[in-house]
Every structure is written in C-alpha cells, then in structure tokens.
Structure 1
Amino acid sequence: MPFTLKQFHIDDSGCGMPVSTDAIVLGAWANLSHSNTVLDIGTGSGVLALMAAQRSNASIVAVEYDQASCEVAKRNVAAGPWPERITVKHICIRDYVACSDKKFEHIICNPPYFLTGPQTTDESRANARHTNTLTFQHLIESMQSLLSQNGCASLILPCEVEVNFLQALSVSQLQVSKRVQVIPVRGKTARRLLLELNFAGGEVLEESLILRERDNTYTEEMVTLTKAFYLNL
C-alpha cells in the first residue's frame, strides 16, 4: 500500500516486505554523517535507500534479490527526489560481492531474520522474512567484504535472534560497536535491537530507545529520531 513520508513516497505493492516501523527506525538511526558511499542490502521497496539519500549526500547502491521487489524499488527511486544518487540492482548480495571491488563507508540492512517457524506461501514475503536466501553468516561475510576499513554497518534484529547473529559474527573481523534495545512501549521489554558494526572493536556503547508512551503516543526520543520523515510529527 502507498506510504507517504515528508520528502518522498513509497508504494510497496507487490513487495515481499511492506514498509515497517523497523525500517523507519533503522533508517533514521544509522550514523551517515561521514558516509559518501552507502550500500543498502535487500532494499525491498527502497525505503532505506531513500532515507539514506534524504539524510546524506552519499552515492547509494541498493541491491535486491527478489525481482518483483527490485522493480518496486526502481519505481520508487525514480519517482523520488534523488534518482541520480541511488542505483538499484537486481542481484543477490553474494553475487554482488563476487563481481564488485567497490567498498562502502556505510552498509545498512533490515535483514530477513526468522530462522524457523511457519512460512507464507508467498515466496517473496517468505524470503523477505526468513533466512532462506540470506543467512546471517552470508550477510556478515558480505558486509565484511564490502565495508571500507573505517566504515560501519547498521542493522535491526529481533532480540530473540541476537545469540544466533553474534555466533555468526564471532568468526568474522566485524564487531559490535553500538547496541540499542528498542522498547515498543514504556515499561515493556525490548523487542528489537539496533546494532552498529565496525572493524575497530572496543567498548560497546549500550543504549535504549522507547518508541511509545503507555497512552500509545510517540515518546520525545522517537519524535526527535523520526520527525524528518513522518508526516504527523
């Protein structure tokens, strides 16, 4: 369904994964302040690539394995304000690694994360939600190959798969530099994690982000984070 933000419009019809709060929070949180090149892995509707274009002057490559979703992303980018800075490619990330020697200063990804459980018969949606075509190991290997030495990668994951992700990360050169617990409603437990990875390592910066108050209104921190995007803020 159409989804309108302050500076661009997303039509995610036919896309495996519709625009979600996860994507908006990740796209608004990722530290793009010193990034001239950005890679969006599994761009889906193109929302993260467009958010990165709004928040930076970077040149952006957005890769998408699913052909239908790739066509959706291309249309959204073409209709947006920054088509000259975003290139959408129909390719899986492992094939992109094999054919590209380009390094990126920032990599952003809202990856498929369900490891088990029932899957929809819609193949595009199943692949967008489950690690059928992109395992954590393959994602981390790809990020390690494509990230510049001083760059960083930003992801959002459910809390319940953190152990699995960190296990895959432990055999790579990348390390967690920031970890933010995303709490849906004040007083509830965290449901998502924002992770920033880099090659430098060191002490992990631990933070939390509460999205809504108990009356379902956005918290001040959520408003501050997303007011450049949501129409009603």
Structure 2
Amino acid sequence: MPFTFKQFHIDDQGCGMPVSTDAVVLGAWAPLTQAKQILDIGAGSGLLSLMAAQRSTAHVTAVEIDDAAIQACQRNIDASPWADRISLIAGDISEIAAQQSQRFDHIICNPPYFETGPQSDKTGRATARHTDKLTFAALTRAFDGLLSEQGKITLILPIESLAAWNKALEQTLQLTLLHQCDVVSVRGKAAKRMLLLLGRNRATPAQSQLVLREPNNSYSQEMIALTRDFYLFM
C-alpha cells in the first residue's frame, strides 16, 4: 500500500518537522529492499521508518530521544499499514548502542548536521538539526556498534559537512564509504547535499548525481522516478 503524507503528524514543538525533501530522497534512495532488520536513528516523526517499511519486508526499529517527536512518531506508526513491523525505542542512540546486542543489516539516518549558526528556540527542532546533541563522532561509533558484518548505512548530509564527517569516519576504521551521490536542487546549480552509502567492505567508492528540479522548477525525471511511490506528481 503506497504511503501518503496527507495525514502525517508532526509534533507541536516542530521537532518532527514537516515532510522534508531530504528525508524523502534519503528514504527512496537507500537500498532497503533486501534488508531484514532496519534501524532508523533519530526517527523524528517516523517518516523514514514508514518509508523503510513500505520498501521492504523488514522489521524496522525507530530510535528517537525527544518526547514530543516520540508521541508524533508513535501516532504515525499506529496509523500506518505497517504498525506490526515497526518498533519505537525512546532514548539516546549512544546509550542504546552500548547496551544493544542486536545487529542491523541496514541503518538509515537523517542526522543533525549544523555545527554552527543560530539554533531554533524550539528545543526539539534544535536537537534535530544541530550536532551538539549527537556529534558525528558519536554517530559513527553507534553505527559501528550496531551494524552487522555485511550491513549498510545510508545518510544525507550537506556538502559543507563533508570534511567534518570524513574526520569522524577516519576514527572508525571498520566503516568505509561505498557510494556518494551529490544532490543538486536545481539543474545547473552546485550540489548542496550528498547521499552517502557506507559499509564494512572496502571498495572504490561509486560517484553519482541526483538532480531534483529543472530550471523551470518542475521535478526532474530522475526525481519523479525515484520518489513516485511517495509523491503524487501532477
């Protein structure tokens, strides 16, 4: 059953945030179809968990730390066709990784990435967007502790965060970049986001590009093909 966004709940503090292009592109691009155990770190209002459940037959574990987002996430899970395949865990992913014995064959994450700059006066939204609550170093350690031997990780980051991300990744010798897809918002402009696929098996990283919109602001054909199961294109 295709997932639609019309009745998707966000919390009243804005932590869950409106449905974002970043999350939709990440959820559609990630190679999830063969996964059996998927982990969604920083689930927010549950968008990625629902997309993962729709695109696979996996059991999905959603982890979220913010109380308001947790409530919105559980409402969205309960209202979905996949409630029996999605479990929500409330807590800090670093603490959970230290206690969790289960390993996942795919981890998906739309992490906080703004290292500097003004923070929202809404605590939940600031936590979701800034790395002071979940640093890249802490995130890579959690990835390493929770990923199965043949598992994969998919995330999305701004291009300007690449140096900081690579520095954190270098400290986790078990993880390596497998694919980087630069995301261009409008054809002809510079990429502002990057989709990353990580794993444990070292290989020459693949490179690709995804253009979201044409100069006339219409969706590109590649964006339509990637996300047609989640958007209703006119």
Under TM normalisation by the shorter chain, which class is it? over 0.9
Corresponding residue for residue 207 of structure 1: 208
2: CA distance, partners of 1:99 / 1:185: 43
2: CA distance, partners of 1:106 / 1:47: 16
Secondary structure, in 3 states, of the residue corresponding to 1:97?
helix
2: CA distance, partners of 1:203 / 1:27: 24
Q: Which moved more, 1:154-163 or 1:89-98?
A: 89-98
Corresponding residue for residue 193 of structure 1: 194
- Tell me if 1:13 matches 2:11: yes
2:224–2:233 contact (8 Å) kept in structure 1: no
2: CA distance, partners of 1:169 / 1:110: 16
Shift of 1:204: 0.3
Q: Which moved more, 1:40-49 or 1:95-104?
A: 95-104
2: CA distance, partners of 1:8 / 1:123: 25
Query: Identity of counterpart residues, as a percentage?
Result: 44
- The one-letter code matched in structure 2 to 1:219 is S
Q: After TM superposition, what 4+ stretches of structure 1 lie above 6 angstroms from structure 2?
A: none
* TM-score (ref. length: structure 1): 0.96
2: CA distance, partners of 1:89 / 1:10: 19
CA offsets 1:164-183 (integer angstroms, 9 cap, x no match): 00110011110100000000
* TM-score (ref. length: structure 2): 0.95
Secondary structure, in 3 states, of the residue corresponding to 1:12?
coil
- The one-letter code matched in structure 2 to 1:16 is C
1: CA distance, partners of 2:8 / 2:181: 27
Shift of 1:92: 0.9
Shift of 1:120: 1.5
Shift of 1:133: 1.1
- The one-letter code matched in structure 1 to 2:188 is G
Shift of 1:98: 2.0
Corresponding residue for residue 132 of structure 1: 132
- Tell me if 1:70 matches 2:79: no
2: CA distance, partners of 1:208 / 1:179: 8
1:9–1:80 contact (8 Å) kept in structure 2: no
2: CA distance, partners of 1:89 / 1:188: 39
CA offsets 1:75-114 (integer angstroms, 9 cap, x no match): 1000011000000111110111122100000000000000
| Alignment root-mean-square deviation, CA | 1.4
1:8–1:81 contact (8 Å) kept in structure 2: no
Corresponding residue for residue 98 of structure 1: 98
Corresponding residue for residue 184 of structure 1: 185
1: CA distance, partners of 2:187 / 2:232: 23
Shift of 1:201: 1.5
- The one-letter code matched in structure 1 to 2:30 is A
Secondary structure, in 3 states, of the residue corresponding to 1:38?
strand
Corresponding residue for residue 81 of structure 1: 81
- The one-letter code matched in structure 1 to 2:9 is D
- The one-letter code matched in structure 1 to 2:100 is S
Shift of 1:13: 3.1
Secondary structure, in 3 states, of the residue corresponding to 1:166?
helix
Secondary structure, in 3 states, of the residue corresponding to 2:33?
coil
1:97-176 correspondence to structure 2 within 5 Å: 97-172=97-172, 173-176=174-177
1:180–1:207 contact (8 Å) kept in structure 2: yes
Secondary structure, in 3 states, of the residue corresponding to 1:152?
strand
Corresponding residue for residue 223 of structure 1: 224
